[in-house]
Amino acid sequence: MSEQAAVPRTPTEADFAAPHPIYCVWEITLACDLGCRHCGSRAGKARPDELTTEECLDVVDQLADLGIRETTLIGGEAYLRDDWTIIARALVDKGISVSTVTGARNLTQERVDAAAEAGISSVSISIDGLEKTHDTLRGPRGSWRDAVEAARRVGDSPMRLTANTQMNRLSMPELPALADLLVELGVAGWQVQMTVPMGRAADRPQLLLQPSDLLELFPLLVWIKRTKLDPAGVGLAPSNNVGYFSPYERLLRWRSEEKGGHWNGCGAGKWTLGLEADGKIKGCPSLPSAPYTGGNIRDDAIFDVVANAGELNHLQRRTADDLWGYCKTCYYADVCLAGCTWTSHTFFGRSGNNPHCIHRALEFEKKGLRERIVPADRAPGDPFDFGRFEIVVEEIPDVDQAPSIIDMALDRVQSASFEEPTLWDDETLKERVKKHRG
């Protein structure tokens, strides 16, 4: 497989002197051919007022003027727009590297060929586990086979093949087996992120990892990286909500040596930009729409929104004084600033306190305690919506004979339901971190 070189989106000295978004994730439609149970945007039908082709081409010009170096086209499902390759080609012609993330339900050979012809350099296929688990999470039966077959098509193309996975209580036990599959498929990289309670995932709180689950997850990821991915030359890319400040971070975080070995804060609006299909402008594509939309392409110039909209740039003015709960008291508060804004806001309706943190879980474990997140208010049912959770602090149960992660994986293959996730109970997922620290 040959590869097209992507434009690097690592900040340069000039960027640090005048920070600006260099990476954009652009939702070009909300139409989707899947029905994922964890979909934050509740994708399915196209928005009634999505940008026209002409408007999209104007956006391309604005992104180039802003200094964007790489754009990822997403949906919904990007290929459901007839003009998706026209948009991609326009970006490439402006010197912007283009990638796409896809559930690949209908990523046919014709569409793969069209993407390569348009100059798309990288395709990330969403695979959330082994067959039954993936189909349970993604909706239609057969979606796992479609994704795997599409991955093979992309692997045979000039484009770079990568994968992405949602980590939750269904998929976590299958991560080792999934790593084996991705190595066999020949992916160049694997991005993993934790499912957060936005959109449809907010309707399924039992799907979410509990904070103490991170005690097992992080050493498991290190083991997978060392024993399966590194020998095969597959890069592991934990997303911005997989953190923070622990013995594991230096071993897991992408380019950690260049970043001092640790998380350097939320880059929304500073290094990243998010666009929605109806023209809304946000600092990060994952952030909820209402609190973080700084303008609309139909009314505002993107450059002006980035420079002046408080919804985008207020995140870069935060200090530890803006934090609350445990994060305000944390040793790393001044640097971390509560980690991923998307994660904390969707849990509590405001940023500044993030329970999905391995340092935090380890500190509670030292005291024989754990945090548990419990739903308090339901999400209203809109795209990018969220409910509200509360935190319960309790003693860690005494669990001496929990099954191994491999036992759970084998069990999972046999018991997965196509109707609604069959979830591990609290005690089953509480194997102590000491089993994996070695």
Q: What is the pLDDT of residues 84-99, one digit of tens each?
A: 999 999 999 999 999 9
- Asked if pLDDT for residue 137 goes beyond 50, the answer is yes
SS3 287: coil
Within a domain: residue 112?
yes
Whole-angstrom Cα distance, residue 192 to residue 302?
A: 30
Within a domain: residue 369?
no
How do residues 252-299 score in pLDDT, each as one tens digit?
Answer: 876 555 555 677 788 899 999 999 999 999 999 999 998 999 999 999
Q: CA separation (Å) from 369 to 58, 136, 372, 406?
A: 53, 33, 10, 26
- Asked if pLDDT for residue 414 goes beyond 90, the answer is no
How do residues 152-170 score in pLDDT, each as one tens digit?
Answer: 999 999 999 999 999 999 9
Residue with tokens 């500073």: 270
- Asked if pLDDT for residue 300 goes beyond 80, the answer is yes
How do residues 303-321 score in pLDDT, each as one tens digit?
Answer: 999 999 999 988 888 999 9
Within a domain: residue 360?
no
- The answer to which of 66-75, 83-92, 283-292, 397-406 has the lowest mean pLDDT is 397-406
Whole-angstrom Cα distance, residue 279 to residue 173?
A: 39
What's the number of domains the chain is made of?
Answer: 1
Q: How far does CA 393 lie from the centroid of its chain?
A: 27
Q: Give me the domain span that covers residue 147.
A: 15-315
Whole-angstrom Cα distance, residue 304 to residue 23?
A: 17
Within a domain: residue 213?
yes
How do residues 141-154 score in pLDDT, each as one tens digit?
Answer: 999 999 999 999 99
Kindly compute the dihedral angle of the four CA atoms of residues 183, 185, 188, 191, in this order, to the nearest 10 degrees: -80
- Asked if pLDDT for residue 420 goes beyond 90, the answer is no
CATH code (residue 21): 3.20.20.70
- Asked if pLDDT for residue 416 goes beyond 50, the answer is no
DSSP assignment letter at 240: T
- Asked if pLDDT for residue 425 goes beyond 60, the answer is no
Share of the chain above pLDDT 70, in %: 87
**What's the chain's average pLDDT?**
88
Query: What pLDDT was estimated at residue 262?
Result: 74
- Asked if pLDDT for residue 13 goes beyond 90, the answer is no
**Better-scored residue on pLDDT, 383 or 264:** 383
Q: Which two tokens stand for residue 137?
A: 């999470």
Within a domain: residue 331?
no
Burial status of residue 88 (CB atoms within 10 A of its CB: 0-12, 13-18, 19 or more): buried
Within a domain: residue 340?
no
Within a domain: residue 99?
yes
pTM: 0.89
First-last CA distance in the chain: 36
Residue 306 near residue 20 (C-beta atoms within 8 A): yes
- Asked if pLDDT for residue 8 goes beyond 60, the answer is no
Within a domain: residue 398?
no
